[in-house]
Amino acid sequence: MKKSWVLILIAMAVLIAAPAYGLQMITNGNFETGDLTGWTIGGDFPALGALAVPNIWDPGLGSWVGSVAPPTLFGLQAIGTAALMQSFVIPAAATMAAVDFCYMPWSFDSIEFDFVWIGMQHDGGFDLYEYWGGVDFGGLETPGWQQFHQAYDLSGVMSPISCTIAFGVTTTEDVIYPTGLFVDNVSVEVGVVPEPATLLLLGGGLMGMGLFGAARRRKK
């Protein structure tokens, strides 16, 4: 009997003190479907501005990666912006959000007029906006895969947050030397603490199971 109560108390303590569980906000963040399922192509080239391509650079990233670049025809790249975007809603109960992705800008020369940019915007209430961009490779044609990680504290947020994460390339004048961006393993994981009612329900269920087990042992 004493052992049963000890187990029940331990289980309830674990439930109450349990860290937030993770909810994945991004669909097809690793592009392993071989296409852009879950993603939207934005910018000036909605049909040709982005696609999933076979991974020939880093086997550790999987078989497919996302590619963002204004289209190229006869060696000349179009002027404008190409973007790969995905929108999601962070629930009101969220306490944290962790953003992760791998990216590799590329160009056939140093970027003097073109821009590679990555950002996350939201609809207000909490500043989740980040901007990584305006990259000038300084003569380095392809800097290799980079990894980004950033955690955000959402404990003060009391309402859902609509967000959009976007990976983009903007070309202006450098049409002879194409510029693009590869991206993979995009993740926005949100931590949500279960509501007190849910914890009580789970705790009550465990307690009932413990009492039932104790009663059966007494009958024996």
Whole-model pTM over 0.85: no
> For residue 95, what are its two tokens?
């306490």
Under the banding of pLDDT at 50, 70 and 90, the label for residue 81 is very high
Q: Give the β-pairing of 76-77 and 146-153.
A: unpaired
Matching residue, tokens 């940019």? 117
Q: Say if strands 94-107 and 179-192 run parallel, antiparallel, or are unpaired.
A: antiparallel
Which 8-state DSSP code applies to residue 179?
E
Whole-angstrom distance, CA of residue 96 vs CA of residue 156: 10
Q: What is the C-alpha to C-alpha distance for residues 125 and 160, in angstroms, rounded to an integer?
A: 9
Token pair recorded at residue 62: 């999987």
Q: CA–CA distance from 135 to each of 101, 176, 182 (Å)?
A: 17, 18, 14
pLDDT(148) > 50: yes
pLDDT confidence of residue 38: 98
| pLDDT above 70: residue 214 | no
Q: What are phi and psi of 18, to 5 degrees?
A: -65, 140
Read off the pLDDT of residues 21-74 as tens digits, 9 standing for 90 and up: 589 999 999 999 999 999 999 999 998 999 999 999 888 899 999 999 999 998
Higher pLDDT, 14 or 83: 83
Residue 149, Cβ neighbours under 10 Å: how many? 9
Is the CB of residue 65 less than 8 Å from the CB of residue 184? yes
Strand positions, DSSP E, 20-145 = 21-24, 40-43, 50-54, 64-68, 72-73, 76-77, 80-90, 94-107, 115-122, 130-133
